[in-house]
Amino acid sequence: MNIHWGKDFLRAVDYLQTRQDVDMERLASYSLSMGASLGPIPVALEPRIKVAVFASGGLRHDKDPEVQAANFAPRVTIPVLVIHGKDDFGVSAASRSGMWSYSARRPPARSRLSSTAGTCRRTSAACSAKCWRGTTATWVQ
């Protein structure tokens, strides 16, 4: 994540707060792939986000400390859903477990890890949306 991406995320939340049709008490962050790998950063920094979903992403350790998601992950205090395809070849098993292991210290309430069916090799937006809507939509509410 570069600094500009993070600022864009925070500005988007500022904009959503100005809209009358957005319920800020139910604001969720949904991140896919690289966005999911970097997702803990803005989620840790933005208190208006109430729940987060990280789909098909894993923690990477090739960034500078100030933009290293692993350094922000322990500061995530909201419920988190991590979604992965069981046979996802794009994200290594170690990286997937790393995404969740930060919560092992003390997972935020209601957090969970979900692996979609083997038909979802790479958790595409459509596949993760199916999992998101079909089996976990009530979790967010």
Q: Which residue has the tokens 């792939």?
A: 33
Strands (E), 5-139: 28-32, 51-55, 80-85, 112-116
**pTM for this prediction:** 0.74
Please answer whether residues 37 and 123 qualify as being in contact, where contact means their C-beta atoms are separated by less than 8 angstroms. no
* CA pair distance 55, 33, nearest whole angstrom: 6
In the chain, the percentage of residues whose pLDDT exceeds 70 is 57
Which domains, and CATH codes, for the chain? 25-140 (3.40.50.1820)
Please answer whether residues 27 and 60 qualify as being in contact, where contact means their C-beta atoms are separated by less than 8 angstroms. no
Question: Between the CA of residue 42 and those of 6, 52, 63, 122, what are the distances in Å?
Answer: 6, 10, 15, 24
Query: Which tens digit of pLDDT belongs to each residue from 80-120?
Result: 887 776 666 666 665 655 555 554 444 555 555 555 544 44
**What pLDDT does 101 receive?**
56
Tell me what the mean pLDDT of segment 59-69 comes to: 76
* Residue 96, C-beta contacts closer than 8 angstroms, at least 6 positions apart: 58, 82, 84, 88
Higher pLDDT, 76 or 99: 76
Confidence at 46, pLDDT banded by 50, 70, 90 = very high
Higher pLDDT, 12 or 125: 12
**What residues pair up with 65 in beta bridges, in sequence order?**
none
Q: DSSP label at 108?
A: P
pLDDT at 128 over 60: no
Higher pLDDT, 95 or 6: 6
Least Cα distance to 132 among 33, 53, 34 occurs for: 53
Looking at residue 76, its amino acid is V
The mean of the pLDDT values for the chain is 73
* CA pair distance 3, 66, nearest whole angstrom: 10
Higher pLDDT, 91 or 31: 31
Higher pLDDT, 83 or 140: 83
Q: Among 46-55, 60-69, 105-114, whose mean pLDDT is lowest? A: 105-114
